[in-house]
């Protein structure tokens, strides 16, 4: 694998930080290998983000509808030493594309959201989407956003509704990192107010 | 046998931990995220928190500026720059506009910061409620319960005693309407620069093991009372004797013999840039 653990991951981190500080901003990660798409059928960006923030100190859980979730879990564990755990305990929840609406909605409601003393002890989600864009989708505003922005993730309304109820009691909540097939990433932290766009 | 030093001093595991804490800090503006502060080859209290942030951020293409109380050439700033450059080989600059990472102690540069820049502030005392209660678990609980009556009381007592707020540096701010935060020992003059900043601001306290952040375009309000509004240090009617700048943070210089007071930009690189561009203009006009 042609990933430089020092310099490539430093750049991935800066992208993640920039996106977390500026919700809805979409940045591109440099393509590191063309292999993943064919071999493992998930976005390389998922793996790059996982390599950047996971290690033996943290746990994760993968939501997927096929055994590709298990394969990815094995790969991430072997590269980062991070351990797989339950949804309720996971520091990171990684979501692969698939027919998994139910499981995602359930995970959203039961995953860690921190407590008032330690709001940082909450789950960070890394979510695979088809294509991210700033055309259509949800309208967002809040810290890091100059006025307001549009963010298209292709996720269903109920996802956002459940997410919104998860961040109602700020500072409790979850932070979301979206990645797509073009190695683009974008973030929606708990401070972001998300409005569903009215459908026709 | 000699081992190659790590790029940016730290092993990748240490960077990961700082990076995770930083991402959380950005997601919860003004909240102090605990992290496992490392031993650094510079004395604690000399910017180890800021330095750890800088090392976790920096990459080969970055250009770094380090300032201490407005000066790029102070011993502290120079030793931080040396350590970072020795372990990364990055370019250094004095010019605020040329840097994309700016580590600073006690000041936010006069030159307005941009979206593509990150300001790292060194913090000796991150807890704005420490004077209210010495115990960490108590101040943590006050933050949790949104109980800032103690912070208000301290300001109120100052007004009763001195007729004004006497916070000087590190006047506390409300971030995103939720957390009261110590902006690090910047003068009140710099507090408004945090409001809706274009640049991301990261704050690191090495000794107290805390990282916190102010994302761009975030509401940052200095604590004040309706009848005692917040006010910056005023330099009205004064200007820098070197470059003539007004509306900047000035240092007062008193002549020991005559007792005369003169003023000078505290931000030395800003002052130099103004002097140089004035000189260039002069040269241009004499050739015209
Ligand atoms: Zn000057």
Domains, in order of start, for chain A: 7-195 (3.40.50.11310)
Asked, for residue B107, whether it belongs to a domain, the answer is: yes
Task: Using the 3D structure, point to which of B198, B222, B246 is the last residue of a domain.
Answer: B222
* Residue B238 domain flag: yes
In sequence order, what DSSP letters do the residues of chain B get, joined into one string?
--PPPPTTSS-HHHHHHHHHHHHHHHHSTT--EE--PPP-SS-TTSSHHHHHHHHHH--TT-EEEEEETTBSSSHHHHHHHHHHHHHH--EE-S-GGG-SEEEEES---SSPP-TT-EEEEE-S---TTTTT-S-HHHHHHHHHTT--HHHHHHHHHHHHHHSS----BS--EEETTTEEE---S-BGGGGGGGTT-SSEEEEEETTTTEEEEE-SS--EEE---SSS-------TT---TTT---SS-EEEEE-TTT--EEEEESSHHHHHHHHHHHHHHHHHHHH-
Q: Which residues of B touch A59 (CB under 8 A)?
A: none
Whether B97 is in a domain gets the answer yes
Q: Are residues B238 and B209 in the same domain?
A: no
Query: A35-39, B96-100, B182-186 — which is least confidently predicted?
Result: A35-39
Asked if A117 and B23 come within 8 Å (Cβ–Cβ), the reply is no
In a domain, B171, yes or no: yes
Q: Specify whether the backbone of B30 is left (phi greater than 0), alpha (psi in -120 to 50) or beta.
A: left
pLDDT band at B95 (very low <50, low <70, confident <90, very high): very high
Q: Please choose, from the candidates B95, B91, B104, the residue with its C-alpha nearest in 3D space to the C-alpha of residue B60.
A: B91
Residue-wise pLDDT for B8-42, tens only, equals 999 999 999 999 999 999 999 999 999 998 888 87
pLDDT at B66: 97
Distance from CA of B211 to the nearest CA of A (A): 12
Q: Are residues B248 and B133 in the same domain?
A: no
As a whole number, the mean pLDDT across chain B is 92
Domain that holds residue B287: 234-288
In a domain, B1, yes or no: no
Residue B160 confidence (pLDDT) above 50: yes
Question: Do B200 and A13 count as a contact with CB atoms less than 8 A apart?
Answer: no
Length of chain B: 288
pLDDT tens digit sequence for B64-81: 999 999 999 999 999 999
Q: Which residue in B47, B50, B70, B265 is the catalytic one? A: B265
Active site residue B13: no
Mean pLDDT within B240-261: 93
For chain A, give percent helix, strand, coil, nearest 5.
Answer: 30, 25, 45
Catalytic residue among B30, B47, B49, B50: B30
CA A149, B215, B174: angle at the middle one, nearest 5? 115
The pLDDT of residue B134 is 96
pLDDT at residue A200, rounded to an integer: 40
The answer to whether residue B130 scores a pLDDT higher than 90 is yes
Asked if B186 and B245 sit in the same domain, the reply is no
Residue B167 has pLDDT above 80, yes or no: no
pLDDT in tens, chain A (200 residues): 578 889 999 999 999 999 999 999 999 998 776 555 455 567 889 999 999 999 999 999 999 988 889 999 999 999 999 999 999 999 999 999 998 999 999 999 999 999 999 999 999 999 999 899 999 999 999 999 999 999 999 999 999 999 999 999 999 999 999 999 899 999 999 999 999 976 54
How confident is residue B273, by pLDDT bands cut at 50, 70 and 90? very high
CB contact (8 A) between residue A11 and residue B59: yes
Is the peptide bond between A171 and the residue preceding it cis, with omega within 30 degrees of 0? yes
* Same-domain status, B251 and B141: no
B30 an active-site residue?
yes
User: Across residues B194-209, what is the average pLDDT?
Assistant: 96
Determine the Cα–Cα distance for residues A54 and A44; give it in Å rounded to an integer: 15
Last residue of a domain, one of B167, B190, B222: B222
Reported pTM: 0.95
Share of chain B above pLDDT 90, in %: 79
Q: What is the ipTM of this complex?
A: 0.96
- Assigned domain for B5 exists: no
- Are residues B181 and B260 both part of a single domain? no
B241 shares a domain with B201: no
Q: Is A136 helix (H, G, I), strand (E, B) or coil?
A: strand
Domain shared by B59 and B129, yes or no: yes
The whole-number pLDDT of residue A197 equals 78
B154 and B100 in a single domain? The answer is yes
- Flag if A175 and B24 touch (Cβ within 8 Å): yes
**B277/B166 same-domain check:** no
Do B54 and B89 fall within a single domain? Answer: yes
Q: Is B237 a catalytic residue?
A: no
Q: How many domains does chain B have?
A: 2
- In three-state form (DSSP H/G/I as H, E/B as E, the rest C), the secondary structure along B145-163 is CCCCHHHHHHHHHHHHHHC
Collect all residues of chain A within an 8 Å Cβ-Cβ radius of residue B34: 120
pLDDT attached to residue A83: 97
């Amino acid at each position: 694998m042609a990933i430089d653990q020092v310099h490539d991951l430093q750049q991935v981190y800066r992208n993640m930080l920039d996106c977390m500080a500026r919700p809805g901003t979409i940045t591109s990660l440099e393509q590191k290998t063309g292999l993943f798409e064919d071999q493992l059928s998930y976005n390389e960006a998922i793996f790059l983000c996982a390599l950047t923030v996971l290690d033996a100190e943290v746990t994760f859980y993968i939501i997927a509808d096929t055994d590709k979730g298990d394969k990815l879990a094995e790969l991430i564990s072997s590269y980062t030493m991070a351990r797989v755990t339950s949804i309720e305990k996971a520091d990171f929840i990684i979501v692969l594309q698939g027919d998994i609406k139910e499981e995602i909605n359930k995970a959203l409601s039961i995953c860690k959201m921190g407590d008032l003393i330690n709001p940082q002890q909450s789950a960070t989600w890394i979510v695979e989407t088809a294509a991210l864009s700033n055309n259509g989708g949800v309208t967002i505003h809040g810290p890091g956003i100059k006025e307001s922005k549009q963010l298209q993730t292709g996720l269903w309304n109920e996802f956002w509704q459940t997410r919104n109820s998860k961040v109602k009691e700020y500072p409790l909540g979850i932070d979301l990192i979206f990645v797509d097939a073009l190695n683009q990433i974008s973030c929606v932290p708990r401070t972001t107010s998300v409005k569903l766009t009215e459908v026709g | 046998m000699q081992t190659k030093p790590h790029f940016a001093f730290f092993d990748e595991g240490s960077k990961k931990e700082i990076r995770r804490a930083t991402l959380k800090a950005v997601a919860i503006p003004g909240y102090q995220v605990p992290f496992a502060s490392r031993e650094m080859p510079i004395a604690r209290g000399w910017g180890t928190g800021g330095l750890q942030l800088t090392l976790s951020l920096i990459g080969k293409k970055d250009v770094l500026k380090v300032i201490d109380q407005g000066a790029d050439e102070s011993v502290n700033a120079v030793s931080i720059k040396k350590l970072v450059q020795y372990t990364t080989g990055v370019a250094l600059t004095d010019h605020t506009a040329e840097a994309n990472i700016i580590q600073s102690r006690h000041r936010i540069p006069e030159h307005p910061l941009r979206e593509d820049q990150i300001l790292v502030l060194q913090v000796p005392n991150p807890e704005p409620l420490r004077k209210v209660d010495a115990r960490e678990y108590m101040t943590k609980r006050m933050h949790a319960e949104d109980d800032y009556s103690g912070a208000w009381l301290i300001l109120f007592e100052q007004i009763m005693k001195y007729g004004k707020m006497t916070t000087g540096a590190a006047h506390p701010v409300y971030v995103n309407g939720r957390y009261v935060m110590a902006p690090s020992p910047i003068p009140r003059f710099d507090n408004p620069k945090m409001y809706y900043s274009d640049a991301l601001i990261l704050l690191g306290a090495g000794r107290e093991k805390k990282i916190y952040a102010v994302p761009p375009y975030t509401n940052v309000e200095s604590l004040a009372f309706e009848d005692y509004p917040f006010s910056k240090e005023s330099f009205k009617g004064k200007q820098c004797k070197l470059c003539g700048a007004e509306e900047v943070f000035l240092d007062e210089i008193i002549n020991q013999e005559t007792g005369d007071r003169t003023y000078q930009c505290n931000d030395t690189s800003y002052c130099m840039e103004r002097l140089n561009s004035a000189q260039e203009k002069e040269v241009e006009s004499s050739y015209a």
